[in-house]
Amino acid sequence: KQYDVILPAAGSGKRMGAGHNKLFLELREKPILIHTLEVFEQDSACKGIWLAVKPEEREYIQSLLVKYNIKKVKALPDGGAERQDSVYSCVKKVEDGEIVLVHDAARPFITIPVIHKLVEAAEEKGAVIAGVRTKDTMKKVENGVIVETVDRSNLWMIQTPQAFQFTILQEAENAAEKDQFLGTDEAMLVERLGQVVHIVESSYDNVKITTKEDLIFGEAILSQRIG
Ligand code: CTP
Ligand code: MG
């Protein structure tokens, strides 16, 4: 089953503190952004990539696409102030999408089998997101004091990809824009329309490179996968 993917890549990487977009940092001498793009480039089910970028980084990113022979990028729309704005700018560009995934460019360790599980589930169910079960005991804290120990068996840590039948995503994104609603992921925009969102169990490997420690974790994952 074919799909398109939206990759928001227009962040600043403040928590990484590299002084520039963290996606240009390298793992095994290759930019994080390219690691992510290569997964989709190599997946024959992926038809097209819609990459949201900062206008001032567009030219540099285009040069990387040439250097690393990434051919599936259909457009590089301007990102916005929030991740949601960056995703929306791509949603407006996608042409007759059927199944569309949204995936953080900062999650380079996503694998094709997980992508395909999501695509198949989205085709059947409409809206489905990747996640993993929480490992630690979870407590709700207010003013430094535990107010509740939450039942961990129902708690999941949510990742991307998030996969949708495109009309569902489009409707949710347009409604959020109209209502000026800011969510923390795409599923939240779909949930608020009353649409059921399903989960697919993903992998703990699928980390979002956010802080310095994640780079160490990233190098370790690559060592384990490719030696
Ligand atoms: N992103 C985006 N547009 C924004 C903010 C984020 O396209 N205005 C993208 C990032 O480039 C990243 C993904 O959304 O691929 C997940 O965001 P996050 O991990 O928070 O990255 P940053 O926003 O760059 O990092 P930070 O929050 O630490 O500044
Ligand atoms: Mg951010």
pLDDT in tens, 195-209: 999 999 999 999 999
**Amino acid, single-letter form, for residue 51:** L
Task: Count Cβ atoms below 10 Å from residue 73 Cβ, excluding itself.
Answer: 18
With a 6 Å cutoff on the Cβ, whether 9 touches ligand 1 is: yes
CATH code (residue 151): 3.90.550.10
Average pLDDT (23-39) is 97
Closest Cα partner for 32 from 211, 224, 218, 162? 218
Find the DSSP H helices in 105-156. Answer: 112-125
Closest Cα partner for 160 from 39, 72, 13, 2? 39
Residue 161 domain boundaries: 3-226
Closest Cα partner for 116 from 47, 168, 46? 46
For 113-142, what is each residue's pLDDT tens digit? 999 999 999 999 999 999 999 999 999 999
Nearest CA to ligand 1 atom 16: 104
Distance 12 CA to ligand 1 centre (A): 6
Instruction: Report the SS3 class of residue 97.
Output: coil
With a 6 Å cutoff on the Cβ, whether 8 touches ligand 1 is: yes
The 10 Å CB-count burial string (b at 16+, else e) for 150-179 is eeeeeeeebbbbbbbbbebbbbbbeebeee
pTM surpassing 0.95? yes
Given pLDDT bands bounded at 50, 70 and 90, which one contains residue 95? confident
DSSP 154: G
Closest Cα partner for 206 from 49, 29, 36, 20? 36
Closest Cα partner for 122 from 206, 210, 45? 45
ipTM of the complex: 0.99
Nearest CA to ligand 1 atom 23: 11
Nearest CA to ligand 1 atom 25: 13
> From start to end of 16-173, where are the E strands?
26-27, 30-31, 46-52, 73-75, 99-102, 127-133, 138-142, 145-150, 156-165
Is the CB of residue 101 less than 8 Å from the CB of residue 163?
Answer: yes
The structural domain count of the chain equals: 1
Given pLDDT bands bounded at 50, 70 and 90, which one contains residue 26? very high
Task: Count Cβ atoms below 10 Å from residue 19 Cβ, excluding itself.
Answer: 8
